[in-house]
Amino acid sequence: MIAQKRGCEDMGLVCHFRNITRHEVLNSKLQMDCCNTDYCNGNHVPFPQLPIQLGYDNLWNTVFIISFSTISILILYISYLLYKRINGGKLFPKREQSYQNNANHVEREYLNSDYKPEVKVTLPGESTLGVIDDGTVTSGSGSGYPLLVQRTLAKQITLISCIGQGRYGEVWKGLFHYDEVAVKIFYSRDEASWHREIEIYSTMIVKNENILPFIGSDVTSVNSCTQLWLVTTYYPLGSLFDYLNMNTLTIETMYSVMISIVSGVCHLHTEVFGTHGKPAIAHRDIKSKNILMKTDRTCCIADFGLAVTHKQTLLNVALNHRVGTKRYMAPEVLKLALQENNFQSYMMADLYSLSLVLWEIVRRTESKHYPAFNYMVPYQGMVASDPSFDDMRRLVCDDNRRPEIPKEIETHLPKLSNIIKETWSGNPKTRLPALRIKKSLINIWKDTFETMA
């Protein structure tokens, strides 16, 4: 507020006897205009605007406010940087974690419901910038960092439950883009098998319904442990081994299962020539646990960790410490007489293992003439549950023993029994090739149902 006052003042020390004198009092907002004639203050001259002068206390107050504001802003900025560094570059980690937990809950609820949305949505996940920061990005092939960082396969899959476990790893059921998948997780010591399976799948450009469909692979880390992932189609009925343990087959289903398995082996053993062909492949570990049961009661072959390939006289045998299943090994393998440089030798060993799988299937088939027999693995009751090489060599090679085919089966299914016997022959050269077995089974199946009709 500015107050103006006119009058006579006895301030001789301030006002000198002049005609209108202006004085400013130090450290105050008082300004005086003095005159000493009659009615001299009648001619009013407007007071000029007083300059703002900061006193000593006001100056320090201003400096304090500016300094405090600057320091506060600096502290807040440093705190923000520390908080972001501690939480891995994520501004709201709890919110993101809550969202991920909610996403996992949604996926699990999806599995337990009958509702299958037609539109399949990929749930948003961590930012790729965060992936770069934490250093967990992989190329998906085990070869290191990709040129363009993307969200890898392992980060897009939600593991639901473990459905299998063995010496070489685990198999999990998971969700990928709301589709059920099987995730085979290899232990790091079995990296050779993981690499071999990827290599085999990459060569099979020519697809076949009796070979397990391959989706992708990845290398990831869980609790500081390296995991090697192989992602394939998921089949809820599990392996043929599991299915035969719990179920019996009809004659029609038996032929469907057998023909599909033999078709898969035939596809593997056949080299396809052309612009986009495939090499011939020998599996080397055919058994009921490596064959998966599909919902249409056909089968597909899995696990190519020991496979060898052959393409135009070039044999590719991968170095691998892993060996096949001793119970299913051919006599020449047990005697260490396999011709390792001859691809036909590997194919003949596959056919011997195939004959044992056919024997497992036919025992679990019920007919109007006889009931299904209890499930047995090959040579059950003849050797221990985990036989040694020497045990199997003495039984299969020295004693020339084979699993017993029940008399009821030999009587009513003589042609099928002969196929099994010819295929597990001790002489590899006399075993029936896969294509011949396939044709014979199809003809027997047609004859059987024409007779029934």
- Taking only the tens place, the pLDDT of each residue in 214-271 is 999 999 988 888 899 999 999 999 999 999 999 999 999 999 999 999 999 999 999 9
Q: How far apart are CA 37 and CA 19, in angstroms?
A: 7
Task: Name the pTM for this structure.
Answer: 0.68
Alpha-carbon distances, residue 396 vs 116, 206, 252, 271, 374 (angstroms): 51, 36, 32, 31, 23
What integer pLDDT is reported at residue 128 of this predicted model? Answer: 44
What integer pLDDT is reported at residue 265 of this predicted model? Answer: 98
Do 352 and 265 meet the contact criterion of CB atoms below 8 Å apart? no
What integer pLDDT is reported at residue 448 of this predicted model? Answer: 84
What integer pLDDT is reported at residue 276 of this predicted model? Answer: 79
Domain ranges of the chain: 1-53, 93-233, 240-452
Q: How far apart are CA 288 and CA 269, in angstroms?
A: 18
Do 282 and 349 meet the contact criterion of CB atoms below 8 Å apart? yes
- 93-233 CATH fold: Phosphorylase Kinase; domain 1 (3.30.200)
Could you count the other beta carbons within 10 Å of the beta carbon of residue 381? 8
The 3-state DSSP class for residue 90 equals: coil
What integer pLDDT is reported at residue 31 of this predicted model? Answer: 66
Do 411 and 436 meet the contact criterion of CB atoms below 8 Å apart? no
pLDDT in tens, 49-82: 555 555 556 677 888 889 888 999 989 989 888 8
What integer pLDDT is reported at residue 116 of this predicted model? Answer: 46
Do 254 and 441 meet the contact criterion of CB atoms below 8 Å apart? no
Token reading at 283: 């599996």
Give every CB contact of residue 364 below 8 A, 6+ residues apart in sequence.
Answer: 244, 247, 248, 249, 372, 373, 375
What integer pLDDT is reported at residue 316 of this predicted model? Answer: 82
What integer pLDDT is reported at residue 1 of this predicted model? Answer: 58
Same fold, 93-233 and 240-452: no
Q: Which positions of the chain have pLDDT values less than 70? A: 1-3, 9-31, 43-58, 88-151, 319-322, 452-453
What integer pLDDT is reported at residue 118 of this predicted model? Answer: 40
What integer pLDDT is reported at residue 124 of this predicted model? Answer: 44
Q: Which amino acid is at 440?
A: S
Q: How far apart are CA 210 and CA 31, in angstroms?
A: 106
For domain 240-452, give its CATH number from 2.120.10.30, 1.10.510.10, 2.30.29.30, 3.30.9.10. Answer: 1.10.510.10
Alpha-carbon distances, residue 152 vs 120, 238, 295, 347 (angstroms): 18, 27, 30, 37
CA angle (152, 155, 157) in 5-degree steps: 115
What integer pLDDT is reported at residue 130 of this predicted model? Answer: 46
What integer pLDDT is reported at residue 189 of this predicted model? Answer: 85
Q: Active-site positions?
A: 285
Alpha-carbon distances, residue 365 vs 84, 354, 371, 373 (angstroms): 64, 17, 7, 7
| Closest to 87 (Cα-Cα) out of 130, 151, 125, 149 | 130
Query: Does 446 appear as a known binding residue?
Result: no
